[in-house]
Amino acid sequence: MTLSVHNLSVRYGRKTVIDGLEFEARPGALLAIVGPNGSGKSTLIKAICGDLPYEGSIVFNGTEVADARPRDLAGVRGVLPQASTLAFPFHAIEVVRIGLSSGVGADHADRAHAAMARVGLTGYANRYYQELSGGEQQRVQLARVLAQVWEPVTADGPRWLMLDEPVSSLDIAHQLQIMTIARDFAQAGGGVVAVMHDLNLTGLFADHVLVMAEGQALATGRPVDVMTDVTLSRAYGCDLQVNTVPQSVTPFVLPHNARAAASKRV
């Protein structure tokens, strides 16, 4: 029941965005995908979720993603896209319910409310989605995804969360809240793949890290092994300095000579 990607290539027209990528993700762990803008993280998530044609193979839940039916995939994984839109003025709770409408857990009407509560949006059910703040909207979308794959493990096996920058517009408290939800999901036996820009949160929460650069895997492994000065500086093309939280192996990242860099601009 793993997610295994072999020799994956994805093109937009003639432009190759992912080029021969290999990696594997297991349920029970949180895999963070990091890398600079345009390195192909979202493209990778889209390919894994069956949105894009690809070459190579992506075997998810025992079947090749390209051959899977949307309905079957929806039963085993929820997807949070990097950006979400909504066409008509639905209430927040309706957005969550629409996520359940194709049959997956559709009989659990109260699950939508429970999911809203999980992301700290109790009392927001009947607010118009379009009138919520950016972070609140993002949490509604998260609630939608959580409601869809509510139990991390079912009789049919583990379920997955595919999250493209799940905390990008959240304040620090909500970042921790959402990342904790994701980690709990993984620790309960579910799979989590999360694209991250915040390296410190990645160090805190990820079990595995895939560092991408220009459509390829620059490194994969445990945060402590992968998040090094050399790898990260190379991936992002700037001087980064990785330290370790005292009395732990949790890495945290600072721009090298941050002060000097800032004062130079003045």
Ligand X SMILES: Nc1ncnc2c1ncn2[C@@H]1O[C@H](COP(=O)(O)OP(=O)(O)OP(=O)(O)O)[C@@H](O)[C@H]1O
Binding site for other proteins (CB under 8 A): 46, 49-51, 53, 69-71, 73-75, 78-79, 81, 84-91, 94-95, 98-104, 130, 148
28 Ramachandran zone, left/alpha/beta (phi>0; psi -120 to 50): left
Member of 23, 30, 32, 40 binding ligand X (CB under 6 A): 40
Cβ atoms of 226 and 220 within 8 Å: the answer is yes
Q: For ligand X, give the closer residue by CB, 40 or 166.
A: 40
42 binds Mg ion (CB under 5 A): yes
12 binds ligand X (CB under 6 A): yes
Member of 3, 23, 25, 42 binding ligand X (CB under 6 A): 42
Q: How far apart are CA 232 and CA 219, in angstroms?
A: 9
81 binds, among other proteins, Mg ion, ligand X, none (CB under 5 to 8 A by kind): other proteins
39 binds Mg ion (CB under 5 A): no
Q: For other proteins, give the closer residue by CB, 36 or 81.
A: 81
- SS (HEC) of 127-194: CEHHHCCHHHHHHHHHHHHHHHCCCCEECCEECEEEEECCCCCCCHHHHHHHHHHHHHHHHCCCEEEE
User: Binding residues for Mg ion, per CB under 5 A?
Assistant: 42, 82
